[in-house]
Amino acid sequence: MIKKSLFIFLLIAISCSKKDVFEAEKQTIINPIAKCENGFAGEFPCNGYDLLTHITLEEIAGENTEGNDSWGWVDPVTKSEYALMCTNKGVSFIDITNPAEARIIGFLKSRTENSPWRDVKIYNDIAYIVSEATDHGMQIFNLNRLREVIVTPVEFTSDKDYTGFGSAHNIVINEAEGYAYPVGTSRSGTYKGGPLFINIQDPFMPVEEGGFLNYAHDAQVVTYNGPDTDYTGKEILIGSNETEVVLVDVTDKENPTKISSISYANIGYTHQGWFTEDFNYFILGDELDERDKGLNTRTIIFDFTDLDNPIHHFNYSGKTAAIDHNGYVKGNLFFQANYTAGVRIIDISNIGNKSFTEVGFFDTYPENDNTAFSGAWNVYPYLPSGNIIVSDIKRGLFVIRKSKT
């Protein structure tokens, strides 16, 4: 076997440049620890997605650890890929360049106390971390420090702590403009839990420039380049605000302007949503409709071609009654963290004709698909390698990848 592998490598070396050889090596080392075969990857139910690595919560942050959100980062110098795994205790930084040999580089603990809710986003290689922990504020951490670590794991300290607000449920960053938007802040604050506008163009000197009144649980903020030419180049916030979706022009931070809002039937809790890449549609998850309305996983799709007049387009029903949590669009696919049903991959290419088709899944919670708050919390599908990060409340970090055909 060793001789055969060496022969193959020599053939590659003869026919490729050094860069090509390096790329070929990278491809050969990314092998699944469990292929999706006959409906399972090891113990985990699957369809079309292999398991590349799995790191338990105890390995990530010790005993009594619970997982929550996650995100991904690519080192601009080495091109190494990292998972940022949030837990009740803090954030762990994990090198997943070669998932089978993933390394926990270090850990940044919560600024104040533990909390089941923690969120991280990235701007210009700087991580911005919020939590519902009391008086947590926003931790700022330079991810370039990760490449300097030799002996792992390291217990890091933040580079800067921003204390202009206390707790926050989530944070959104518009990387095109250099603004962070903490959401779900205190309902007793100036903006009653509405999004804050924080200028992070100087990453370690954040400046609050305003906010928008009324509670937002989650949001997406984009520099708009869609079909509604009235708003071309404007910075648009789409808030998932418990009982409705609200669209706001936040270009002028001192004078944000509500564009429109839309609700829908059988509201449970308007939780989180994401634009399609052409800005024509917005795909929303309602976190409590499965539990409170007795529905199968329901995804609500809105037509946003006219931002002043959003229209309910259709609903997509999943195959189980599991609760949908966070979902993200990449090309013609929608990646949905679906709690006890794991991650569902949905083809949205026929969205104009009101049709979605599930084309794959990886179930991090094999026990059942019950309507419960356990299983896959978040999915991050944007790594250049095509590897996908999944954070699970009870089972930790998974890295999965579409099976080779």
| pLDDT score at 10 | 37
What is the rounded radius of gyration, in angstroms, for the C-alpha atoms of the chain?
A: 21
Task: Compute the C-alpha angle 212/183/379, nearest 5°.
Answer: 140
The Cα–Cα gap between 353 and 314 comes to: 9
The Cα–Cα gap between 229 and 317 comes to: 32
Task: Compute the C-alpha angle 142/148/153, nearest 5°.
Answer: 90
Helix axes 18-29, 2-15, angle to 10 degrees: 140
CB atoms within 10 A of CB 137: 22
| pLDDT score at 387 | 98
For residue range 75-87, what is the model confidence (pLDDT) as tens digits?
Answer: 999 999 999 999 9
| pLDDT score at 30 | 66
| pLDDT score at 20 | 41
Q: Which domains does the chain have, with CATH numbers?
A: 50-402 (2.130.10.10)
Residue stretches of the chain with pLDDT short of 50: 1-28
pTM confidence score = 0.92
Torsion sign over Cα 128, 277, 98, 54: positive
Q: Are 327 and 276 in contact (CB under 8 A)?
A: no
DSSP secondary structure string for all residues of 115-161: -S-EEEEEETTEEEEEESSTT--EEEEEGGGGGG--SS-EEE--SEE
50 CB-near residues (< 8 Å, 6+ apart): 32, 34, 35, 36, 41, 400, 401, 402, 403
